[in-house]
Structure 1
Amino acid sequence: MRNETGEQPAGGRRAEDHLAGDLAQAQARRVFLACWGIVVLLKLAIVARLPLFVDEAFYWQEGRHLALAYSDLPGLTAWLTRLGTEVVGSNAFGVRWPFLVLAAALPWLVVRVARLGARVGDDAADATLSVRAWQAGTLAVLLPLAGTLGMLALPDVPLAFATLLCLHAGARLLRRVDAGAALELAIGLAIGALSHYRFIAVIGVGAVALLALPAGRVVLRDARVWVALVLGALAWAPLLLWNLGHGDAGLRFQLVDRHPWHFHLDGLWFVVVQAVITTPLLFAALAHAGWRGWNGHGAPSPVFARYCALLGAVLVLGFCALGFFADDERVSFHWPLAGYFALLPLVPATLAQWPRAWRRATWLLAGAGLAALLAYYIVVSSADMRARFAAAKWYPSNFAGWDTLADAVRSKRAGMPGNTRIVADNFKIGAELGFALDDPRIAVLPHPLNGHHGRAPQLSVWNLLAEDRKQLGAQPLLLVVGASEVRYRDLLSRYHALCDLVGPLPKPQGVSIDHGRQRFLLFAMPAQRAEGPCTTPAMAWIDTPKSGVRVSRDFEVAGWAFKDGVGLARVEVTLDGQVIGVADYGQADPGIAAFWGVSNDPAHPYVAYTAQVRAGAVSPGLHWLGLRLIGRDGSVEEWPQQPLRIVD
């Protein structure tokens, strides 16, 4: 209704504003629920088919050896995998479902945190704050790193959960110190301490944030908060006790061994990767939100805005700075995720300052980034699709071929004596085979990977690290070797190291996955160590044609091949797995023996080959060129294939 002057009464305007606010809240909530529900359903559909990542398999193995702490991590990740498999069974979904549940709760926690952005005393948050809280939750769903959490059973999930609990508890304490908020803080600190060493950064930055804020210093004077801090500190006791009992092995790996601790420019790539993995516009929005929050904007409560900005910005900037000095070989792009969670409650208010087109682009690009990561996991979960990308640099080797390997091991072992013991040449194979065969006690040989990933001390604790043949007992062995787990230039040395450990290697049975990109070798070893010169699997290379080139139907193949201990009798050329020619093998190339040094093939230097190949009636397009290497001992080995394109 309007009055005689045509103006709407103030009460009517308030009613319309209230109605509009209710509609906006309902719409924001519906968008959040739709995005959250769709992503959860997609993740459920993918994880049941996604092969177990090697770290997940090791955490499963840790869960089968329950302890308060482990060499690589505190205990919580292993405990969750044990819980999952006890409830659902020893399968990929059983390992992962507890992490999916925790990850599904994260966006709801972001909503709860964002709702605390109201001014102190204004508990009835206005419609705008409620809308922005739901929007922050939606961003937590769409942020690619956050949206895909839980698909793998990794410590980052409970670490993120603990971070958000502490963030929420801190925001509550800044409004009013009470026993409930202190208890929530204690629980968050305990979960974080049981999740990962990296939670120390969250604790340190959280302390800085509280000390930097006048309201935070008031919080730190309350005895209930100190009780929470003490309880949180006690949760580190199992990890500290483990390190004290094992020569600080875990601490040394996490803080010393894995990091070069000298400046390197690869840190620039760390920053670039952050912008890409969070999507560039959302990354800019997070940065802008941090700046505005530090200046007291981004939420009705300036204290809340500064608190979130301090936590988020210092964590993100700190990890980006660390990228210039820390480990640049292993995956580390997920380190700043805790900081992004802290900044998300401030982002909707920041986006409201942007032009509408930029806001839409930010949301769409974030959704596209999440879709791209989900698509990656779909590709990884499909054997056919993985094979198409066998030659790609990003080929997911840590997901590939474990079921095929387990089937081959079962078949090979069935034809060996009943007391045959399976032995893996590195922790990855030991954990993955252990999971597939439901055997957490598979012995592992010394391997650079064991130390590189901090797993060697834990294998020693379990008495599964066999330093020599005698430790494996006087029984037949089925030795499983990952031929693609070391750099090619180090592969021959690895074979000779195996000879030193277990004796000459007999004829191998090859297990080739995805055109040989993932390749394993099975050796049936006798009960007693054999003596004699070191015999190894064959080594080879295709010099011509290069991988991925275009060739006519008639082309030349040239390269070299040898087999230590016995030599090669013949080299055959294959196309798509079918023999299409026999190479002229035995040409001189003295440089091969000089390069490999330890090689003892009796044919040196006559180990080069050439072959004139006629592809015949094969269709034009992508094909896979390989070698079949026949040893003088009767062994037959398929060499990894490389792609080429045949043109008319």
Structure 2
Amino acid sequence: MRNETEARRTFIAAWCAVLAVKCVLATHLPLFVDEAFYWQEGMHPAWAYSDLPGLTAWLTRIGVALFGRDALGLRIPFLLLAAAVPWLVARVTAREFGATAGWQAALLSLLLPLAGTLGLLAVPDAAMAIATLLCMDACARLLRNVSAGAAVELAVGLALGAFSHYRFIAVLAVGFLVLLLMPEGRRALRDPRMWIAIAFGAAAWTPLVAWNMDNAEAGLRFQLVDRHPWAFHVDGIQFVLVQSLLVTPLLFVALVVAAWRYARDPRPAPSFFALLGGLVVLGFFVLGFFADTERVSFHWPLQGFIALLPLLPSLLDRWPRWLRIATGALAALGLVLMLGYYAAVSVPRLRETTAATRWYPGNFAGWQKLATQSRRALRAMPKGTRIVADDFKIGAELGFALGNPRIAVLPHPLNVKHGRAPQLHLWKLREDTVDRGKGPVLLVVGASEVSLRELPARYHELCERVGPLPAPRTISIDHGRQRFLLFQLPQLKQPGPGKGECTTPAIAWIERPAVDARVGRRFEVSGWAFKDGVGLRSIWVTVDGRRVAKAEYGLPSVGPKLIWPFSNDPQHPNIGYRAQVDLEEMEKGRHWLGLWLIGRDGSVEPWSEIPIDLE
């Protein structure tokens, strides 16, 4: 790729190939939870929302309106924005380093895994990348000579970033600081046209500021206060290591070296790119030692890496040929692996293999099956049955599948954890108590969204909001890693929730064998299980979904009552079980051990399975 023609042809071929692969993946990849909620926001048009400014929601609305209410239709606007990113990189780079370097940088933007996979999900990052590149290009022009065209480009970039995400504030703050540090930047800032552009960009934050002023700063508090511990933790080292792997190690080193070397370049534009990108990345690396570690954050520094891309071709040109090839090949491998991850998530059988690991993609899994079973349950219930969701994830995903953005949602810790509770309240979709006097209700509960220790309390809270829970229809996905419960609640004569002693779904624990245990052909299964309100009648042990032994139930087990003193299973403390399992005819290798919990109310509830290795 030493000449312009070869570089351009190579880039265009790679761009077409990556775009084609992403379109195929976007068609088959299950909807991510955040995408579904952004769709729901788009169906409630507003200038700003509790978690984001308005642009992402508007793009989802445009996508489904023009291309249909499916995963690809939702994602097409984001795929188009992402497809424009490498071309903007080429433009920005070519102005400073020449056309050949421009095409080389554009190719590197495709190979950078986080940038190359942009658009696969309907999330704000693609728009933020475009906004960053527009601001970079405008500032590079303004550092040479202030012009009306460059000022307009800066204004558009600033406005686009303001409508994309709170995180764009990092690009704004660092970019303004760098302009102040540079003589050319201070000269540009003395021009009124520059301040008109800045004022236009600042005005674009007005809807988000107004939303926060009207809602007790709920969005700002979530983004800047509530979700972060703001205390030093060593997990920040892991954040940096993850970035080096996601960027790919050699490309990561190249970006760091480029930031360091070009920060002192006498030319204003390369120096601006280096300082902007380097300080944004460094800032997020420092933030990683103090900020949120529970939610996804690996994409935070992406805008900084994009700002450094124009510097790479001239830097890599000085490296030995073998090292340049290794850098490109390793980056290409990283892109293939990330695309391969999304492909694997799209295949239920492959996704199922990760059920017992920390890498299980729960936010992608099970929604289609849940929607199918919910439709079936609704057909069996009276006309006019309302759906009430346990949390915002179920409400958004089911809403997208059923075309209903008005599914009511119960109060849930997840709504608060992800900053969606204020928005549900504004939409009047938060239903503190289910009034069953208004009609029948299909209650959809995500049993796997709460830890086992918190699950009994959650069930009792549901009883307070709904009334005693009838026998559920259990939807077990990927060996029970995802479990949903459907409760068909009939209409009551009196208003409000149902009355009576709390009846909940069953809860169990397999004490022996342990997860991933190696077992012989004959082994013992033991543990405890209970079902508040009515108790259990019997328990069956299953292997790979097939019943293999009936357990002896009613053995003493005092531990659960000590942990959950409010539990009202009438059989306490005799809730232990034990079974002898004989698998003489089963093949060696990995199998899945589970339970069927048979309630005294006639319920049959499969419990989550654990992997064992049969010797």
User: Where does residue 17 of structure 1 map in the other structure?
Assistant: none
**Would you say 1:515 and 2:479 are equivalent positions?**
yes
CA distance in structure 1 between the partners assigned to 2:362 and 2:129 by the alignment: 26
User: Which residues of 2 match residues 602-617 of structure 1 at below 5 A?
Assistant: 602-617=570-585
User: Where does residue 239 of structure 1 map in the other structure?
Assistant: 208
User: Where does residue 539 of structure 2 map in the other structure?
Assistant: 571
The SS at the match of 2:401 is helix
CA distance in structure 2 between the partners assigned to 1:473 and 1:32 by the alignment: 63
Task: Choose which of 268, 283, 298 in structure 1 pairs with 2:237.
Answer: 268
CA distance in structure 2 between the partners assigned to 1:406 and 1:542 by the alignment: 30
Cα drift, residue 407 of structure 1: 0.7
**Would you say 1:35 and 2:3 are equivalent positions?**
no
User: Which residues of 2 match residues 186-335 of structure 1 at below 5 A?
Assistant: 186-296=155-265, 302-335=267-300
Comparing 557-566 with 129-138, greater Cα deviation is found at 129-138
Render the CA deviation track for 1:341-371: whole Å, top value 9, x for unaligned: 1111111222222222222111111111111
Cα drift, residue 238 of structure 1: 0.9
User: Where does residue 502 of structure 1 map in the other structure?
Assistant: 466
Q: Are the counterparts in 2 of residues 116 and 172 from structure 1 also a CA contact under 8 Å?
A: no
Cα drift, residue 473 of structure 1: 5.6
User: Where does residue 395 of structure 2 map in the other structure?
Assistant: 430
Structure 1 residues 98 and 292, CA, compared in 2 at 3 Å: closer, same or farther? Answer: same
Q: Which amino acid aligns with 2:383?
A: G
CA distance in structure 1 between the partners assigned to 2:411 and 2:488 by the alignment: 19
The SS at the match of 1:361 is helix
**Would you say 1:354 and 2:322 are equivalent positions?**
no
Render the CA deviation track for 1:14-68: whole Å, top value 9, x for unaligned: xxxxxxx9x7211111221121111111001111011100000000001111111
User: Which residues of 2 match residues 148-159 of structure 1 at below 5 A?
Assistant: 148-159=117-128
Q: Are the counterparts in 1 of residues 442 and 488 from structure 2 also a CA contact under 8 Å?
A: yes
Task: Choose which of 109, 125, 130 in structure 2 pairs with 1:140.
Answer: 109
**Would you say 1:338 and 2:303 are equivalent positions?**
yes
Q: Which amino acid aligns with 2:309?
A: L
Render the CA deviation track for 1:293-322: whole Å, top value 9, x for unaligned: 1121xxxx7212211111000000001101
User: Where does residue 476 of structure 1 map in the other structure?
Assistant: 440
The SS at the match of 1:600 is coil
CA distance in structure 2 between the partners assigned to 1:403 and 1:101 by the alignment: 26
User: Where does residue 67 of structure 2 map in the other structure?
Assistant: 88
CA distance in structure 1 between the partners assigned to 2:533 and 2:606 by the alignment: 18
Comparing 207-216 with 588-597, greater Cα deviation is found at 588-597
User: Which residues of 2 match residues 450-461 of structure 1 at below 5 A?
Assistant: 450-461=415-426
The SS at the match of 1:489 is coil
Structure 1 gaps of 5+ residues are 1-20, 119-128
CA distance in structure 2 between the partners assigned to 1:52 and 1:140 by the alignment: 25
Cα drift, residue 383 of structure 1: 1.1
**Would you say 1:173 and 2:142 are equivalent positions?**
yes
The SS at the match of 1:643 is strand
Q: Which amino acid aligns with 2:62?
A: L
Q: Are the counterparts in 1 of residues 94 and 100 from structure 2 also a CA contact under 8 Å?
A: no
CA distance in structure 2 between the partners assigned to 1:27 and 1:94 by the alignment: 34
Q: Which amino acid aligns with 1:411?
A: R
CA distance in structure 1 between the partners assigned to 2:603 and 2:35 by the alignment: 35
Q: Are the counterparts in 2 of residues 116 and 304 from structure 1 also a CA contact under 8 Å?
A: no
CA distance in structure 1 between the partners assigned to 2:177 and 2:37 by the alignment: 35
User: Where does residue 5 of structure 1 map in the other structure?
Assistant: none
Identity within the alignment, %: 58
CA distance in structure 2 between the partners assigned to 1:36 and 1:486 by the alignment: 42
The SS at the match of 2:14 is helix
Q: Which amino acid aligns with 2:113?
A: P
The SS at the match of 1:609 is strand
State the TM-score, normalized to the length of structure 1: 0.93
Comparing 86-95 with 343-352, greater Cα deviation is found at 343-352
Task: Choose which of 581, 590, 598 in structure 1 pairs with 2:549.
Answer: 581
CA distance in structure 2 between the partners assigned to 1:445 and 1:277 by the alignment: 37
The SS at the match of 1:640 is coil
Q: Are the counterparts in 1 of residues 25 and 342 from structure 2 also a CA contact under 8 Å?
A: yes
Q: Which amino acid aligns with 2:112?
A: L
User: Where does residue 58 of structure 2 map in the other structure?
Assistant: 79
User: Where does residue 12 of structure 1 map in the other structure?
Assistant: none
State the TM-score, normalized to the length of structure 2: 0.98
Cα drift, residue 530 of structure 1: 2.2
Number of aligned residue pairs: give it.
611
Quote the RMSD (CA, aligned, Å): 1.2
CA distance in structure 1 between the partners assigned to 2:427 and 2:447 by the alignment: 25
Task: Choose which of 22, 32, 45 in structure 2 pairs with 1:66.
Answer: 45
Q: Are the counterparts in 2 of residues 174 and 215 from structure 1 also a CA contact under 8 Å?
A: yes
User: Where does residue 634 of structure 1 map in the other structure?
Assistant: 602
Task: Choose which of 414, 439, 449 in structure 2 pairs with 1:449.
Answer: 414
Q: Which amino acid aligns with 1:426?
A: D
CA distance in structure 2 between the partners assigned to 1:444 and 1:592 by the alignment: 30
Q: Are the counterparts in 2 of residues 630 and 637 from structure 1 also a CA contact under 8 Å?
A: yes
**Would you say 1:105 and 2:69 are equivalent positions?**
no
**Would you say 1:548 and 2:516 are equivalent positions?**
yes
Comparing 146-155 with 265-274, greater Cα deviation is found at 265-274
Cα drift, residue 525 of structure 1: 1.4
Larger radius of gyration: 1
User: Where does residue 164 of structure 1 map in the other structure?
Assistant: 133
CA distance in structure 1 between the partners assigned to 2:187 and 2:132 by the alignment: 22
CA distance in structure 1 between the partners assigned to 2:347 and 2:137 by the alignment: 39
Comparing 540-549 with 631-640, greater Cα deviation is found at 540-549
Q: Which amino acid aligns with 1:572?
A: W
Q: Which amino acid aligns with 1:427?
A: F
The SS at the match of 1:540 is strand
CA distance in structure 1 between the partners assigned to 2:596 and 2:122 by the alignment: 39
CA distance in structure 2 between the partners assigned to 1:530 and 1:117 by the alignment: 70
Q: Are the counterparts in 1 of residues 468 and 504 from structure 2 also a CA contact under 8 Å?
A: yes
Q: Are the counterparts in 2 of residues 483 and 520 from structure 1 also a CA contact under 8 Å?
A: yes
**Would you say 1:375 and 2:340 are equivalent positions?**
yes
